Chains A and B, each alone.
Chain A
């Protein structure tokens, strides 16, 4: 018999929420993210408890450049452009992200200002995971928190290497251009 006033909902939620469809799909999404891919389903279920789902409309900012970073976002559905303002105050697209991509992940390390903005280009559903919750997770479940932090360090390190390689490549290209100019 259905419980019309849902008197048991709290207990039901407490015991069965972990296996509900909504949570299952969230766990599946979290599983696809490289940052969390090494975590078990049980660990992902724990993380899914403090994952906030938000919907955004086109041309809405998830966050703007210079704002203090507090959360990392995972795109569940939709598309987000990472933008930076040029000297004319126009937004220049740096990257375009889609389903399963993450952005703003450095906010999990500290609250330093966002280096770029995140502008929604089509109706988007994103999942937010906050630094404060991750810090609490480090207290209650150090093995999960530690795992995330380690992967965050690996991803950041990889991006740093990529950026360094890109800078070297650009420098080589500039030197090549300079050499060609001098030859002319």
Chain B
């Protein structure tokens, strides 16, 4: 009798504790959503680094030094890559020039594809068949790229101050011949009166600083999460296992260990695979004559997005193609490589994808967590709806973690006679 009362009290206690924990955790997730991504990234980085730490410890290096070495290596990598990326990020003027150049080159390639001299003339068979549909698609792309009123005024000031090269000026004037109105022009007109662009850009830069500072203040937590998770000698695991009742203790530990192993292998496998794809594309683009900054940037984008099933390679290809459209006259390092940038990007991305499927994936065995393609497609789409690009990127690892946790828990619960 006394025992059953105690059992009931225990149940009420654990249930209340669990509910309290869920409510507090849920509230914190919503209230501190800006911190979720840095904490998640710090945890992932620590998780991925664990074998590296173990390797250094096997070599006789104390854990604290091993963490410092890894942190130093990470910081160096982020610093070097960050510098390259920052130098590749265009200024306001360069961004406008890039858009003008991209719009011109897109139209030029589009007309060449349809076999037309200008938008009014007759084209080839493709133009006859689907020219109208493609025209509509291109109009929306053009309206996205075209400069709005305040941007036109800003660019005009650069022209007046003779800061624009003849080539860009030619592209700009040519773009103006094409009668496309920017999509958000009306919105912009209500926001800015004529000649107010200096104020607009001033506001823009202030907000950029604010965004930068905000990002720094939240992302500063990442290295701390990284360090403290690596320093942890099992205290986190011990805490959670400490609150597990005796009956589930061995099962809880085994589930924890199996999930840890499976997720660790999956994440490290995915990272290794993405890194290999990114490096392949970077080297490939370098060989076909792309600038080093551009090759690094496209390599990083292609590498990161490669973690997104199906869509990843398309994003990598798209980024490469966008750059290939703008770039003029590449000089391949090796003579047999194509000197057409578009063809070059296509060859590089296809080669990287071939290597990924034939060599990298079989090498990275740990990544073998089977997911139905439909789950992958719905997961990626759902992730993009919830949290944009990061949602797309993290959707599959999240699904994999849930799948591994649930399947391991189910298997262990059966083996320990907790469920039938």
Chain A residues in the interface with B (C-beta under 8 A): 10, 13-14, 49-50, 52, 54, 56, 60-64, 66-68, 70-71, 111, 128, 130, 132-133, 136, 139-142
Find out whether the CB atom of B250 lies under 8 angstroms from the CB atom of A63.
yes
**Whole-angstrom CA separation of A52 from B249 in the bound complex:** 10
Q: Considering only CB atoms, which chain A residue lies closest to B260 in the complex?
A: A132
**Whole-angstrom CA separation of A150 from B253 in the bound complex:** 25
B310 cross-chain contacts in A, Cβ below 8 A: none
- Given that A67-B416, A139-B58 are contacting pairs, would A49 and B254 also be in contact in the complex, using a CB cutoff of 8 Å? no
Q: Considering only CB atoms, which chain A residue lies closest to B51 in the complex?
A: A139
Cβ-neighbour of B54 out of A60, A64, A68, A140 (below 8 A)? A140
**Whole-angstrom CA separation of A93 from B309 in the bound complex:** 57
Show 5 A/B contacts (Cβ-Cβ < 8 Å), sorted by A: A52-B253, A60-B246, A67-B250, A67-B415, A141-B57
Main secondary structure of the interface of B (DSSP, over half): helix
- Given that A49-B234, A140-B54 are contacting pairs, would A128 and B249 also be in contact in the complex, using a CB cutoff of 8 Å? yes
B241 cross-chain contacts in A, Cβ below 8 A: 52
Give the contacts of B374-420 with A (CB-CB under 8 A): 415-417
**Whole-angstrom CA separation of A164 from B250 in the bound complex:** 31
Q: What is the CB-to-nearest-CB distance from B236 to chain A, in angstroms, rounded to a whole number?
A: 11
Find out whether the CB atom of A54 lies under 8 angstroms from the CB atom of B249.
yes
Q: What is the CB-to-nearest-CB distance from B66 to chain A, in angstroms, rounded to a whole number?
A: 10
Find out whether the CB atom of B417 lies under 8 angstroms from the CB atom of A49.
no
Whether B228 is near chain A, meaning CB under 8 Å from some CB there, is yes
**Contact pattern, B 222-250, Cβ under 8 Å of A = 1, otherwise 0:** 00000010010111001001100011011
Find out whether the CB atom of B234 lies under 8 angstroms from the CB atom of A50.
yes
Q: Considering only CB atoms, which chain B residue lies closest to A55 in the complex?
A: B246
- Given that A49-B233, A52-B238 are contacting pairs, would A130 and B257 also be in contact in the complex, using a CB cutoff of 8 Å? yes
Q: What is the CB-to-nearest-CB distance from B149 to chain A, in angstroms, rounded to a whole number?
A: 55
Q: Considering only CB atoms, which chain A residue lies closest to B228 in the complex?
A: A10
Q: Considering only CB atoms, which chain A residue lies closest to B57 in the complex?
A: A140
Q: Considering only CB atoms, which chain B residue lies closest to A14 in the complex?
A: B231
Find out whether the CB atom of A132 lies under 8 angstroms from the CB atom of B257.
yes
Find out whether the CB atom of B246 lies under 8 angstroms from the CB atom of A54.
yes
**Whole-angstrom CA separation of A128 from B250 in the bound complex:** 9
**Whole-angstrom CA separation of A126 from B253 in the bound complex:** 16
Chain B residues in the interface with A (C-beta under 8 A): 54, 57-58, 228, 231, 233-235, 238, 241-242, 246-247, 249-250, 253-254, 257, 415-417
**Whole-angstrom CA separation of A71 from B54 in the bound complex:** 22
Q: What is the CB-to-nearest-CB distance from B240 to chain A, in angstroms, rounded to a whole number?
A: 11
Find out whether the CB atom of B246 lies under 8 angstroms from the CB atom of A140.
no
Q: What is the CB-to-nearest-CB distance from A107 to chain B, in angstroms, rounded to a whole number?
A: 9
B54 cross-chain contacts in A, Cβ below 8 A: 136, 139-140
8 closest A-B pairs by CB: A132-B257, A70-B254, A70-B250, A140-B57, A68-B415, A49-B233, A139-B54, A67-B416
Q: What is the CB-to-nearest-CB distance from B152 to chain A, in angstroms, rounded to a whole number?
A: 56
B417 cross-chain contacts in A, Cβ below 8 A: 64, 66-67
Find out whether the CB atom of B246 lies under 8 angstroms from the CB atom of A68.
no
**Whole-angstrom CA separation of A62 from B248 in the bound complex:** 10
**Whole-angstrom CA separation of A73 from B49 in the bound complex:** 31
Find out whether the CB atom of B58 lies under 8 angstroms from the CB atom of A142.
yes
Find out whether the CB atom of B246 lies under 8 angstroms from the CB atom of A56.
yes
B254 cross-chain contacts in A, Cβ below 8 A: 68, 70, 111, 132
**Whole-angstrom CA separation of A40 from B122 in the bound complex:** 89
**Whole-angstrom CA separation of A152 from B234 in the bound complex:** 24
Q: Considering only CB atoms, which chain A residue lies closest to B234 in the complex?
A: A50
B257 cross-chain contacts in A, Cβ below 8 A: 130, 132
Cβ-neighbour of A70 out of B231, B238, B253 (below 8 A)? B253
A13 cross-chain contacts in B, Cβ below 8 A: 235
Q: What is the CB-to-nearest-CB distance from B231 to chain A, in angstroms, rounded to a whole number?
A: 6
**Whole-angstrom CA separation of A50 from B238 in the bound complex:** 8
Find out whether the CB atom of A71 lies under 8 angstroms from the CB atom of B228.
no
- Given that A52-B238, A54-B246 are contacting pairs, would A130 and B253 also be in contact in the complex, using a CB cutoff of 8 Å? yes
Q: Considering only CB atoms, which chain B residue lies closest to A104 in the complex?
A: B250
**Whole-angstrom CA separation of A141 from B233 in the bound complex:** 14
**Whole-angstrom CA separation of A49 from B234 in the bound complex:** 8
**Whole-angstrom CA separation of A66 from B241 in the bound complex:** 22
B231 cross-chain contacts in A, Cβ below 8 A: 10, 14
B57 cross-chain contacts in A, Cβ below 8 A: 140-141
B235 cross-chain contacts in A, Cβ below 8 A: 13
B247 cross-chain contacts in A, Cβ below 8 A: 61
Q: What is the CB-to-nearest-CB distance from B117 to chain A, in angstroms, rounded to a whole number?
A: 68
Cβ-neighbour of A140 out of B58, B228, B242 (below 8 A)? B58
B249 cross-chain contacts in A, Cβ below 8 A: 52, 54, 128
A67 cross-chain contacts in B, Cβ below 8 A: 250, 415-417
Q: Considering only CB atoms, which chain A residue lies closest to B50 in the complex?
A: A136
